[in-house]
Amino acid sequence: MGSKKRSINSVEEVVEGQTDLAADNTVSMPSDKKSKMFIKTDAQMGDGVAAPSSVPSSIKPMERKKKRKQLDKERRRSVLENEESQPKQMNLESKRNDAWEPVASSSTIGLPEFHISVFKDLASANSSVRESAVETLVTELQEVQKAYDRLENKDLVEGVLKLEAQKNDGLDNCASSLRYAVRRLIRGVSSSRECARQGFALGLTALVATIPSIKVDSLLKLIVDLLEVTSSMKGQEVRDCLLGRLFAYGALARSDRLIKEWFSDKDTLHIKEFMSAIISLAAKKRYLQEPAVSIILEFVGKLPDEALIDHILEAPGIPEWFQEAISVGNPDALLLALKIREKSSIDSTSFGELLPNPFSSSKLFSADYLSSIDNCLKESTFCQPRVHCLWPVLVNVLLPDTVLQAEDVASISNSFKKYKKGRKSSSSEEEIVKNVQCFCEVVIEGSLLLSSHDRKHLALDVLLLLLPRLPSSFVPIVLSYKLVQCLMDILSTKDSWLYKVVQHFLKELLDWVSNDDVRRIAVIVAFQKHSNGKFDCVTKTKTVKGLVADFKTETGCMLFVQNLINLFLDEGHASEEPSDQSQTTDENSEIGSIEDKDSIGIMGNADFLKSWVIESLPSVLKHLKLDPEAKFRVQKEILKFLAVQGLFSASLGNEVTSFELQEKFRWPKAATSIALCRMCIEQLQSLLANAQKVEEPRSLANGLEPNDLGCYFMHFFSTLRNIPSVSLFRTVSDEDEQAVKKLQEMDSKLYKDERNCGLSSNANKLHALRYLLILLVLQVLLRPGEFCDAASELIICCKKAFSAPDDLDSSGEDELDNDAAPELMDVLVDTLLSLLPQSSAPMRSAIEQVFKYFCGDVTDDGLLRMLRIIKKDLKPARHQEASSENDDDDLLGIEEDEDIDEAETAETAESDEQSEDSEAVVGSEGADKELPEDSDDSDGGMDDDAMFRMDTYLAQIFKEKKNQAGGETAQSQLVVFKLRVLSLLEIYLHENRGKPQVLTVYSKLAQAFVNPHTMDGSEQLGQRIWSILQKKVFKEKKLPKDESMQLSTLESLLEKNLKLASKPFKRKKSASTLSKKKLSGSLNRHKMIVSLAQNSTYWILKIIEARNFSDAELQGVFDLLQAVLVGYFDSKKSQIKSGFLKEIFRRNPRIGHQLFSLLLDKCGNAKSDFRRVEALDLVIEVLKSQVPMNPSESNWDASKKILKSHLQSLSHLIERLVTRMPEKKLRKTEVHKFCDKIFQMISTLDLTEAFLRCLGPDARPSCESQLGPLFLKLKKLE
């Protein structure tokens, strides 16, 4: 407030300064002196703030202000003089006096004492302190007033003691202390210090309510006089004064004095005066309106109804206030009118047009009336973020507590249908529906959502008020098109001003639906219906996805499925309202219209919502945990919808009744597009495939029909096909028709056989084949003309595998009975491979299931055909002459890539070196002898026709490559095909663990991995092969041990892998121009190939060791490893790592024992210090397996014998180490560690003397100088 204090505050501060001085500093004085001081001060204060009635009317406000300032100065000066004149001894005496000094000692005239220190406690932040102070204040003043009332000569008291009291202030019948307290309390409510307003208002309320001597009219006059706003006041001073008056009026209203006045005198004018004053105050500032109305409402709530019209509605200023409310937009006037109407149920002209007359809820929420009060509703945003009190009142009228909440339970089966088509409703329910619809359309959509951000915020807050009372069937009304579009507009841009507001709204909405499936369904349908199925896509959230995943019960799932079906069949689901930005955002909004966002395109494809319905139906089952019976019932409902909409159409009308199934089936009025039908079929395939994976064992022990979804589908499919007015969604050829018919017949036969098999292994085969047949029926309809041949071959395989010879059709007998006919499993493998490339994911799953149960019978020829696919690439063989310019271009393109680097990335490699790599892991001729002659080596001489006969799909790829520039599409198709074949091979390896065919699969996969052209530049393909080899070959505990595997074959594989592991990473001169990324890729690929060779070596040696061959038989293996060891020491080009050799010795101690002498000799005579030091670990590794550090008594002699046999070589090695000690510190440390371990072994086995003799006298000085304490310690043991 600065230096310009109001005069009334100056007066208050002076008095409070004296009070604080007496109470806090405990400065006391004799009662007579003290009384005189307060009398003098209060007389001055009374003169300064006399009531307007005691001031001549000629005195102007400015003159009055000057007089008050003069009085303030004199008062401060007198206080300072009094303080300085106090003797210091009084400060010492005051410490022994009570701090609660009375304002006035009236013992001489018989009045009790009143302690003014209570006023300080009234401003305390502690509510209990304030309440205690009020209680003390009222109690003391009651006693003072009672004593005052008993006095006969009151004039004596008036003459002796005046505390800021004036004879004409209206409090003539009050004691001076009471008059002082009333005035001080009125001034105190204008103070913004701590909780002064609350405390002083509470004191004033209690005082006025308790002491009837305080007259209401006098109080009203004092409030105006003491809290008058003058022209000199600014800002906070004005605000404090106005709020002080508001708190004072509130205190008067809560004191119930006005109520008592009315009961004692029904013609009292005080209520009208009070109403006029508070309404006049409310009109001064906007922020005073709502709290003023709150005070009036609290007061009106205590008045009888008969007093409302005369004393409230007809009070001066009230009718005019109501009349202008609509034009100025006064929500508080509307709130007051509604609350008075709610209390009294009276229709008064005083309300004007603010309320409909006569009043009814239907008129209150009519479009015309809501439009008329639009300004009032919009202006209620001034109190944000708090919601104005008007809105809860409107919501209570709109959705009263008497709304039938049971309506949701009764209408579950009819949920979310149009009301006129739904169940019969009572007139009151229909009225509520109409009111809610009108409220949402006019207020929410037509007013608030079209306005500013603040009003959009208000709209969402109002909807949150509606939620707790909102029946689920009202959700489609509330979550309207415009609201959903508004939510999407805001959520699509994270920097939107309302982004967090909408997030909060969604959170509250999701909490509201969390435990109610009916609500959840209503919200999902509303969001997707008005967003054309793209709510999550546009908002970049997972709102709808999360809601769909939350269904836990069968009832909820079935209801959701039914509603999605209704949404699919509802022709009016697509909103015709344009997604114009003007509907949901104001002109200042930073968010563009949805149509402007090409990436979103919310109103693009009209079928998008239907496609979402189709995709969502099977996904309901994804997170569902139900018992098998309940889940089967849900699956059947979904299956029926997908089958009806995807496979069939009605010839007459759009409804068909099946008397056999006792169901009615419906289609949309507009024909379903082929794209949607295909989507239905694909989802139907997915549903059947998933059901196959999780089905219970097919047991009929309980005598009940098993939950076989495939069987149910085939029966359903056949039944609908037999209805004359139902036809397939597309016309099929005779071949396709015949294929479908045969597939149905075969499925029926296999189903009977499966039921008769019980739980045997054949039951699994039959079940897997049945589901493949079922999915093939759908595939034939999905892609007509492409699967007829595969279907015929599969049927023949089924007949051959499970039918008696008499049951075979004549069409296939000749081919099957012919001696030259292929094996059954070869035909089955070819059929599965032909189905694999262009089939859907569910079809591939069914193919894998069939292969899983039949792969144990796959022939070697069939296996090689699968492996041949993995090795194929689109590059012509190098020796073949190009038949066209295109072939030349392809060849040259590859050759140019080969010039870059020998170990290039997956798509390039130098041809000769590449061929070397490929041969390294193929195996020798001995390996090929085990396999059929039609091995991969013969592929090089095959012409195109022969290749085409190998596999139809490969032929298609090669033809496509010839017709395309670059062949990128064909190459990508081949990679996908290879990945699918690899999945079958992984199943094969898992089901045939320990069989010799594993070696065949390994060799072909390894060869494909090493060949960069086979990888087709696909990192994914290489990683897949690597993963299969690691998991299903190298880490498999069960090893191939068949006697048919010749040792020569294993030796050949070992030789090639050792060669590959030692191959260096070469660079050509042109490699210097390569980018770092390509060089890094080349190096990484080289490392993976080396790692593959190393792991292959460990695995092959493990197989050899498991066969328990003798040393003589393993001489070839020893020779291979000996050559590698020699190359490690002698050849600088060898890239064999010592860690690789160390691991071989650790895993195969017998190899280390055989090569130990050579190792010591090569290590001692190594030309490179690096090789010598690095090989020391190999020496220690071999010795650890033969000579333990702490040998037991049983093997002590054997260990000593072994070590003694190599003592001469060890001494020679140590002599070379100490005489040629490496200069590098790290290598020197390795030498010291090696010698220490050798000396420990020698000393443990008592070979110290023999070792020193072998060492010779010339080497000892070098040992002493280089090894120091290590060697001296050994010499002491001699």
Q: Domain residues of the chain, as ranges?
A: 7-255, 399-625, 639-858, 1187-1278
Nearest Cα neighbor of 1006 from 987, 1032, 988 is 1032
CA angle 59, 60, 64 (to 5 degrees): 80
**Cα–Cα distance, 1211 to 1207 (Å, whole number):** 6
pLDDT of res. 248: 93
* Coil, helix or strand at residue 1220: coil
**Cα–Cα distance, 200 to 120 (Å, whole number):** 10
pLDDT classification of 1033: cutoffs 50, 70, 90: very high
**Cα–Cα distance, 199 to 188 (Å, whole number):** 9
Are the CB atoms for 102 and 114 separated by under 8 Å? yes
Cβ neighbours of residue 906 closer than 8 Å, sequence gap 6 or more: 1012, 1015, 1016, 1017, 1018, 1019, 1022, 1081, 1085
The owner of tokens 């062949």 is: 967
Q: Report residue 653: phi and psi, to 5°.
A: 75, -160
Average pLDDT estimate for 411-437: 62
Q: Report residue 102: phi and psi, to 5°.
A: -75, 155
More confident residue, 44 or 609: 609
Are the CB atoms for 674 and 664 separated by under 8 Å? no
**Cα–Cα distance, 31 to 310 (Å, whole number):** 53
pLDDT classification of 1222: cutoffs 50, 70, 90: confident
pLDDT classification of 599: cutoffs 50, 70, 90: very low
**Cα–Cα distance, 667 to 654 (Å, whole number):** 5
Report which listed range, 36-50, 334-348, 406-420, 517-531, is most confident.
517-531
CB-side neighbour CA atoms (13 Å) of 349: 0
pLDDT of res. 265: 86
Are the CB atoms for 242 and 288 separated by under 8 Å? yes
pLDDT of res. 72: 62
pLDDT classification of 1220: cutoffs 50, 70, 90: confident
Are the CB atoms for 334 and 376 separated by under 8 Å? yes
Pairing relationship of beta strands 663-666 and 726-728 according to DSSP bridges: unpaired
More confident residue, 508 or 1216: 508
The single-letter DSSP state of residue 442 is: I
Cβ neighbours of residue 820 closer than 8 Å, sequence gap 6 or more: none
**pLDDT at position 594 over 80:** no
Structure token digits, residue 154: 């009151």
Cβ neighbours of residue 1123 closer than 8 Å, sequence gap 6 or more: none
Nearest Cα neighbor of 794 from 735, 856, 850, 751 is 850
| pLDDT digit string, tens, across residues 977-995 | 999 999 999 999 999 998 9
Are the CB atoms for 493 and 591 separated by under 8 Å? yes
Are the CB atoms for 1061 and 1097 separated by under 8 Å? yes
**Cα–Cα distance, 138 to 375 (Å, whole number):** 46
CB-side neighbour CA atoms (13 Å) of 778: 34
**Cα–Cα distance, 54 to 999 (Å, whole number):** 120
**Cα–Cα distance, 953 to 71 (Å, whole number):** 111
The single-letter DSSP state of residue 387 is: P
Average pLDDT estimate for 543-568: 93
More confident residue, 103 or 120: 120
Nearest Cα neighbor of 373 from 309, 330, 321, 417 is 330
Are the CB atoms for 1221 and 1266 separated by under 8 Å? yes
Please classify residue 594 by burial: count the beta carbons closer than 10 Å to its beta carbon, then call 0-12 exposed, 13-18 middle and 19+ buried: buried
- Helical H segments across 1016-1133, by residue range: 1019-1029, 1047-1061, 1076-1106, 1115-1130
Structure token digits, residue 1266: 């280089």
Query: What's at 190, amino acid-wise?
Result: S
**Cα–Cα distance, 900 to 890 (Å, whole number):** 17
pLDDT of res. 761: 74
Are the CB atoms for 504 and 457 separated by under 8 Å? no
pLDDT of res. 910: 37
More confident residue, 945 or 338: 338
**Cα–Cα distance, 1121 to 1124 (Å, whole number):** 5
| pLDDT digit string, tens, across residues 1144-1179 | 999 999 999 999 999 999 888 888 888 889 999 999
| pLDDT digit string, tens, across residues 750-803 | 999 888 887 677 888 999 999 999 999 999 999 988 888 899 999 999 988 886
Nearest Cα neighbor of 692 from 620, 631, 767, 745 is 767
Least confident of 74-78, 88-92, 786-790: 88-92
Cβ neighbours of residue 602 closer than 8 Å, sequence gap 6 or more: 488, 531, 532, 534, 538, 579, 594, 595
pLDDT of res. 156: 60
pLDDT of res. 317: 87
Please classify residue 87 by burial: count the beta carbons closer than 10 Å to its beta carbon, then call 0-12 exposed, 13-18 middle and 19+ buried: exposed
**pLDDT at position 46 over 80:** no
pLDDT of res. 914: 40
**Cα–Cα distance, 299 to 605 (Å, whole number):** 60
**Cα–Cα distance, 325 to 328 (Å, whole number):** 5
Q: Report residue 990: phi and psi, to 5°.
A: -70, -40
Nearest Cα neighbor of 984 from 866, 1151, 868, 808 is 866
More confident residue, 929 or 450: 450
More confident residue, 322 or 36: 322
User: What does the mean pLDDT of the chain come to?
Assistant: 78
Largest CA distance in the chain: 144
Query: What's at 1050, amino acid-wise?
Result: L
Segment (H or E) for 637: helix 628-647
**Cα–Cα distance, 1171 to 146 (Å, whole number):** 116
Nearest Cα neighbor of 1203 from 1162, 1163, 1166, 1243 is 1243
Per cent of the chain over pLDDT 70 is 73
Helix axes 709-721, 628-647, angle to 10 degrees: 30
- Sign of the CA dihedral running 1124, 1125, 1131, 1134: positive
Cβ neighbours of residue 575 closer than 8 Å, sequence gap 6 or more: 481, 529, 530
Task: Compute how many other C-beta atoms are within 10 angstroms of the C-beta atom of residue 1173.
Answer: 22
Tell me how far the alpha carbon of residue 1151 is from its chain's centroid.
57
Per cent of the chain over pLDDT 90 is 40
**pLDDT at position 1239 over 50:** yes
CB-side neighbour CA atoms (13 Å) of 38: 31
**pLDDT at position 4 over 90:** no
More confident residue, 758 or 717: 717
Least confident of 64-68, 256-260, 728-732, 934-938: 934-938
More confident residue, 808 or 1111: 1111
Are the CB atoms for 145 and 178 separated by under 8 Å? yes
